[in-house]
Amino acid sequence: MALKRQVRVGNQWMYARDAWRTLEEARRVTLEEERLQQQHELPFIRKYVFSTDHKVIGLQYGFTALCFLLLGFCLMILMRLQLGWPGQAFSVMKLIGAMRAPGGVLLPEAYNQLGAMHGTIMIFLGIVPLAVGAFGNYLVPLQIGAPDMAFPKLNMASYWCYFVGGVIMLSSFFYSGGTANSGWTSYPPLSDIATHGQTFWLCGMVFLITSSLLGSVNFLVTIIQLRAKGMTLMRFPFFVWAQFVTSFLLLLAFPPLEAAAVLQMMDRLAGTSFFLPSGLVVSGQVLPNAGGGNPLLWQHLFWFLAHPEVYVLILPAMGIIAEIIANNTRKPLWGYRSMVGAVIFLGFMSFVVWAHHMFLTGMGTVISAFFQTTTMIISIPSVIVLSALFISLWGGSIRFNTPMLFALAFLPMFGIGGLTGLPLGLATADLHLHDTYYVIGHFHYVVAPGTIFAMFAGVYYWFPKISGRRLNEFWGKVHFWISLVCINGIFFPMFMQGLAGVSRRLYDGGIQYAHAKAIAEQTNPFMSVCAIGLLCAQVPFLINFFYNAILALLGRRNEIANQNPWQATTLEWAATTSPPLGHGNFEVIPVVYRGPYEYSLPDSATDWTPQNQESVEPALPPGGGMLPEVAVAQREM
């Protein structure tokens, strides 16, 4: 129907049927623009600061988010010092000011501030912007053969909302009352009566939520509308699918938190009592509020977001891992279709499990049975994805480069994290484990050696794409092995602590409690030493990263980082240069002829057949243009 419609608009005729021609035109314009851009550079500020190019925005997101990750980690180092050696003075503590750590001894209220900010920064300012804002932004248009995101200006607005949100969060460190201190979950009434840092937190969250909403609309439209010719849904790289589902989660799960934030803001600023029941007595004073509210309302709204949110943290990571595993086993992903089905199902299910965080709020049998069941059901798609990735290894020809090492380690690490989610999902077992370090261990295994490792894998894998230089392999491996050992040293003992019943968010790690003293004293110093070791392990990474980034900025490539150093089949490698062209991405928008992972096709001369290559035979891909000898030489590495 749409095909036949002719519409006269003003003095222009629009033929819907000619839409593909528009695409052609866009290509020509792109080329034209390339030429022009070389002659007339955009001013610096439009090109690098208020850019609308998804690649620049992706890099802005990435750099900002990595800095936040490091900051979140540094806050945690201070907390780990206190946990490992409670009450001792450390000179680094003085960095956060005498009012938080007089004489270098951290105060309990400051511990709570650091904890809330660690969680918030890691999740909302670190991983989500890195996984979605940076990797998604940079790669999705390239992988589907689009000249940019559908709404470039919105994309820019999304980054700057994130930036402002981050600045607001950080500015609360300089506010005399301190930052938010009610945990990243901000449960009222505690958060309603907390210092103004909580207001900063809420304002910051409103900006971050807005940023995510703008971003997710943009991703969805881009993926649906801007696919190149031939890029059918089942030819999407798995990463694109992961981003697609993630965007839906962000789109639909964040608004309830926005609503909750508005309500909490009203409670704090306008004196309402949405979350305050009648008759509260705080430090001997009856609160003046009218009362009649319900503290559990917040928890429902919060977890309605926050459970989908945890899948936002893991899905892009799974996407990255899938790309890297397919590439470095030199074979297609096993069970691609069931993986796609699984993540879509996961997306739907993640909206109906939220109350498994609230089993101990006094939940009856029926409701708890419902949420336990959905929680068990949602573990199945994760099992499917992980099994498919494991089975993909079978029959492969596995190259152990740095990105692959991180990707391989992801599998058992996510496995541990996911498996320990099971006892938490059974309400009766949660009775003992809720709010203990078992929970902390569970989710850190998924987000730290899980997601963070996936992020590292992605950085090592796509660095040559972005910069034209490859990161040093030796230092990459040093980074990997030390990180792997240390990170397990931090998080594994948490399960023992959790089984012993040690509560989380304890300023002294639990040494005052009879049931916790022994295990806390045995393990906490060791865990803290491992945390410091993990911090040290990042030094080679930072040097590797900045050294190569600076050289790349100076225009120095290294030979290995050819167009396509990993001999990958997906469009971002096969159809563009490294680093990609400026705004517009492709010299010619590619046409897609095959699935994303056509590695080791039986009839092919090479072991990789790019998505945009029409026939199997020619050994040379159009975009890559690499000599066969180089290709062979590289395989040896």
Partner 1 sequence: MDAHAHAIDAGHDHGGHHELEIPFNVAPRPDTGVYNAKLGVWLFLASEVMLFGALFSSLILLRTGAAHWPVGKDTLHVLPATINTFVLILSSVTVVLAWANLRLGDLKMGRIFIGVTLLCGLIFMLIKAYEYNLSFSHEHFPKTNNFFAIYFTMTGLHGLHVLGGMIVFAYFLTFGSKMWKTEPARFTNRIEVVGLYWHFVDLVWIFLFPTLYLL
Partner 2 sequence: MREFLNQWMPIDASAHGHQVDDLIVLTHWLMAVLFVVWGAYFLFCLYRFNAKRHPRADYIGARTHVSTYGELGVAVVEVVLLAGLSIPAWYKWTHLPQKDKNPIEIHVVAEQFAWNIHYPGPDGVFGRSDPKLMSSTNPLGLDPKDPNAKDDIVTLNNLHLPVNRAAVIHVTSKDVIHSFKLPVMRSEQDAIPGMDVPIHFTPIKTNDNGDRWEIACAQLCGLGHYRMRGQLFVHGAAEFDKWMKSAPTAFATQ
Query: Is 238 in a helix, a strand, or coil?
Result: helix
Report what 401 binds from partner 1, partner 2, ligand HEA, none; CB cut-off 5-8 Å by kind. Answer: none
Report what 252 binds from partner 1, ligand HEA, partner 2, none; CB cut-off 5-8 Å by kind. Answer: partner 1
Q: Is 538 in the site for partner 2 (CB under 8 A)?
A: no
Report what 309 binds from Cu ion, ligand HEA, partner 1, none; CB cut-off 5-8 Å by kind. Answer: none
Choice between 140 and 446, CB closer to partner 1: 140
Report what 307 binds from partner 2, partner 1, Cu ion, none; CB cut-off 5-8 Å by kind. Answer: Cu ion
> Which of these, 85, 83, 121, lies nearest to 204 by C-alpha position?
121
Of the residues 246, 436, 562, 613, which one makes contact with partner 2 according to CB under 8 A? 436
Of the residues 54, 55, 73, 248, which one makes contact with ligand HEA according to CB under 6 A? 73
Q: Is 127 in the site for ligand HEA (CB under 6 A)?
A: yes
Q: Is 349 in the site for partner 1 (CB under 8 A)?
A: no
Q: Is 429 in the site for partner 1 (CB under 8 A)?
A: no
Q: Is 352 in the site for partner 1 (CB under 8 A)?
A: no
If one counts every other C-beta atom within 10 angstroms of the C-beta of residue 24, the result is: 12
Q: How far is the CB of 183 from Cu ion (least distance, A)?
A: 15
Q: How far is the CB of 275 from ligand HEA (least distance, A)?
A: 17
Q: Is 288 in the site for partner 2 (CB under 8 A)?
A: no
Choice between 229 and 477, CB closer to partner 1: 229
Q: Is 180 in the site for ligand HEA (CB under 6 A)?
A: no
What distance in Å separates the CA atoms of residue 448 and residue 454, rounded to the nearest whole number? 9
Of the residues 80, 235, 268, 307, which one makes contact with Cu ion according to CB under 5 A? 307
Q: Is 331 in the site for ligand HEA (CB under 6 A)?
A: no
For residues 583-602, which are near partner 1 according to CB under 8 A?
583-584
Of the residues 104, 230, 277, 579, which one makes contact with partner 2 according to CB under 8 A? 277
Of the residues 245, 457, 482, 531, which one makes contact with ligand HEA according to CB under 6 A? 531
For residues 539-578, which are near ligand HEA according to CB under 6 A?
541-542, 545
For residues 338-377, which are near Cu ion according to CB under 5 A?
none
Q: How far is the CB of 36 from ligand HEA (least distance, A)?
A: 33
Per-residue binding letters, 228-267, with ligand HEA (x by CB under 6 A): ----------------------------------------
Owner of token pair 């940076």: 134
Per-residue binding letters, 483-512, with ligand HEA (x by CB under 6 A): ----x--x-------------xx-------
Per-residue binding letters, 70-109, with partner 1 (x by CB under 8 A): ----------------------------------------
* Neighbouring residues of 58: CB distance < 8 A, sequence distance ≥ 6: 133, 134, 135, 136, 137, 138, 139
Query: Contact region for Cu ion (CB under 5 A) — 304-312, 329-337, 386-394, 463-471?
Result: 304-312
Contacts 24+ apart (CB under 8 A), 347-352: 347/245, 347/248, 347/249, 347/308, 347/311, 347/315, 349/374, 349/377, 349/378, 349/381, 350/249, 350/253, 350/307, 350/308, 350/311, 350/378, 351/252, 351/253, 351/304, 351/307, 351/308
What distance in Å separates the CA atoms of residue 287 and residue 188, rounded to the nearest whole number? 14
Owner of token pair 């937190």: 201
Q: Is 147 in the site for partner 1 (CB under 8 A)?
A: yes
Report what 555 binds from Cu ion, partner 1, partner 2, none; CB cut-off 5-8 Å by kind. Answer: none
* Dihedrals phi, psi of 285, to nearest 5 degrees: -105, 135
Contacts 24+ apart (CB under 8 A), 624-628: 624/562, 624/563, 624/564, 624/567, 624/573, 624/574, 625/563, 626/562, 626/563, 626/564, 626/567
What distance in Å separates the CA atoms of residue 525 and residue 81, rounded to the nearest whole number? 8
Q: Check: CB of residue 608 under 8 Å from CB of residue 568.
A: yes
Q: Is 482 in the site for ligand HEA (CB under 6 A)?
A: no
For residues 246-305, which are near partner 1 according to CB under 8 A?
251-256, 258-260, 262-263, 266, 270-274, 289-290, 292-294, 297, 300-301, 304
Q: Pairing between strand 12-15 and 6-9?
A: antiparallel
Of the residues 29, 89, 511, 591, which one makes contact with partner 1 according to CB under 8 A? 29
Bin 44: left if φ > 0, else alpha if -120 < ψ < 50, else beta: alpha
What distance in Å separates the CA atoms of residue 198 and residue 193, rounded to the nearest whole number? 9
Choice between 225 and 428, CB closer to partner 2: 428
Helix or strand (DSSP H, E) at 14: strand 12-15
Q: Is 80 in the site for ligand HEA (CB under 6 A)?
A: yes
What distance in Å separates the CA atoms of residue 119 and residue 592, rounded to the nearest whole number? 42
Q: Check: CB of residue 134 under 8 Å from CB of residue 81.
A: no
In total, the chain counts a number of residues equal to 637
Query: Contact region for partner 1 (CB under 8 A) — 211-219, 235-243, 313-321, 458-466?
Result: 211-219
Q: Is 22 in the site for partner 2 (CB under 8 A)?
A: no
What distance in Å separates the CA atoms of residue 204 and residue 370, rounded to the nearest whole number? 34
> One-letter amino acid identity for 175?
Y
- State CA 106 to chain mean position distance: 30
* Dihedrals phi, psi of 7, to nearest 5 degrees: -125, 135
Of the residues 387, 538, 558, 634, which one makes contact with partner 2 according to CB under 8 A? 387
Q: How far is the CB of 291 from partner 2 (least distance, A)?
A: 8
Of the residues 331, 357, 470, 583, which one makes contact with ligand HEA according to CB under 6 A? 357
Q: Is 119 in the site for ligand HEA (CB under 6 A)?
A: yes
Angle subtended at Cα 211 by Cα 205 and Cα 214, rounded to the nearest 5 degrees: 140
> What are the structure tokens assigned to 620, written together?
């040379």
Owner of token pair 């078992």: 438
Hey, CA dihedral for 438, 441, 444, 449, is it positive or negative?
A: negative
CA distances to 238, 327, 329, 529 from 335, in Å: 11, 15, 15, 41
Owner of token pair 């990105």: 403
Residues lying near ligand HEA in the complex (CB under 6 A)? 66-67, 69-70, 73, 76, 80, 115-116, 118-119, 122-123, 127, 183-185, 310, 313-314, 356-357, 375, 378-379, 382-383, 386, 412, 415-416, 418-419, 421-422, 424-425, 430, 434-435, 439-440, 442-444, 446-448, 452, 487, 490, 504-505, 531, 534, 538, 541-542, 545
